[in-house]
Amino acid sequence: MARNKSPRKRKPVKSGRLPVTSRATAPVYPKRFMISLPPENDDDRPPEFFYDTLKEAIRHCVRLGPQFFLDTQYYPPLVTIIRVLNNAKTKPMTLDTTTLRG
């Protein structure tokens, strides 16, 4: 006749703390580039576009064409692309900007 095995003991864990393997890690965000265009009216919020790479952000500006920037901004046209960097848990987010002059 088969005998029942006694249940295995669980590993002791301090109360209130989770084991290291089940602890949630901080999310990792990709570097993002933001393009903000001038609003059509003073009451509107400016449209903002986000891209993962600087190349895509510059391509967006080139797609609008030079006349768009000449009509909406002072001469010479100026485009600022903002990259938000999330360094670590303890450090605040920092901004890195790239400026394109017409």
Q: What is the pLDDT of residues 69-90, one digit of tens each?
A: 556 555 555 566 666 555 555 5
What's residue 5's pLDDT?
Answer: 73
Cα–Cα dist 52/57, whole Å: 8
Report yes or no: 102 and 66 within 8 Å, Cβ to Cβ: yes
Cα–Cα dist 100/81, whole Å: 8
What's residue 33's pLDDT?
Answer: 76
What's residue 20's pLDDT?
Answer: 58
pLDDT, tens digit, 9 for 90 and up, residues 3-60: 667 777 777 766 665 555 556 666 666 557 777 777 777 788 878 888 887 788 778 7
